[in-house]
Amino acid sequence: MENYQDMRPAGGNKAPNKTKSVVILVIAIVIFLALLSASFSIVDEGYIGVKYQFGKIVADNLSAGLNFKVPFIQTITTVDIREQIYEMNTTAYTKDTQTVENIQIKLNYLYDRSALSDIIRNVGIKNVESKLIIPQIQSIMKNEIGQFRAEELVQNRATVQENIEDKMRQSLSTSGITVVSFAIENIDFEDGFEEAIRAKVVAEQEALKMQNKTVEKEEEARQQVIAAEAATKSRKIQAEAEAFAIETIQKQLQASPEYIELQKIQKWDGKFPQVMSDGVNPFIAITGEGE
């Protein structure tokens, strides 16, 4: 046995040692890459980063791009700072105690960048809608809708929407929320009330139609009166003209008896009558073709 062991080539343990070194190197590279990957976080455009260390905020305004963090100690979350959209359905009561069963609203808003740090630290981005927006919407809408009767609410929907938007803008601005727009997209009343509203609208339309017909007939009658008055005035003018002409002729005859002979001459066509008579023996003028 001793002779066999002595016959092994020198350096026979180098291959296992080399393999072990390669494994250690690979493990070291993997660990290094893992630490490197865990040391950076990407914040997308339109977002800001919030850095936490053991649950405490240490930075709340990390810009878009690659941001460093201590691996396993710090974490980075992102906050969407683009325009936000919140939609909800709610109910309310009108001044005459009609139930508005389904009010669909849509709110577009932004975070005020100067107040965003306070919102993140004191409210929490995930709590903005539940703690700030929803209570304000419900309170303001109920107050505003409660000032109108149901029928007035239907007729003044745009005005109600503007009033709510103005009050929402004023109220939420104190909490760091900027209202971009507010819209009431749908209002549903109880079925019985909606049917009554439709019947009233139909009745009003029919009444308006009849009123328009009355106005039209009155206008036609007025035009007929105007036309009759115009015809009467025209006939009067014509009669006055004829009377004036007769009066003028009479005055002319009185002033000049030869005037009637002048009128005969002016109206004569140059032809003699075919039959002439002295009252006893008529003479007939016969003209032949040969003459």
- pLDDT score, position 291: 44
Per-residue pLDDT in tens (0 to 9) along the chain, 291 residues: 445 455 555 555 566 777 878 888 888 888 877 777 778 889 999 999 999 999 899 998 899 999 988 888 988 999 999 999 999 998 888 888 888 888 999 999 999 999 999 999 999 999 999 999 999 999 999 999 999 988 888 888 899 999 999 999 999 999 999 999 999 988 887 766 667 666 765 666 667 777 777 777 788 888 888 888 888 888 888 877 777 777 777 776 666 666 666 666 666 666 656 655 555 555 555 554 444
Distances from the Cα of 195 to the Cαs of 33, 61, 121, 279, in angstroms?
Answer: 70, 55, 51, 100
- pLDDT score, position 33: 79
Q: Are 88 and 134 in contact (CB under 8 A)?
A: yes
- pLDDT score, position 173: 94
| Bridge partners (DSSP) listed for residue 108 | 85, 181
The 10 Å Cβ neighbour count of residue 91 is 14
Structure tokens at 79: 């906050």
Length of the chain: 291
Closest by CA position to 271, among listed 287, 257, 289, 260: 287
The 10 Å Cβ neighbour count of residue 81 is 15
What is the spatial distance between Cα 142 and Cα 151, in angstroms, rounded to a whole number?
16
- pLDDT score, position 58: 92
What pTM did the predictor assign? 0.58
Q: Are 64 and 70 in contact (CB under 8 A)?
A: no
- pLDDT score, position 266: 64
- pLDDT score, position 123: 93
The 10 Å Cβ neighbour count of residue 45 is 8
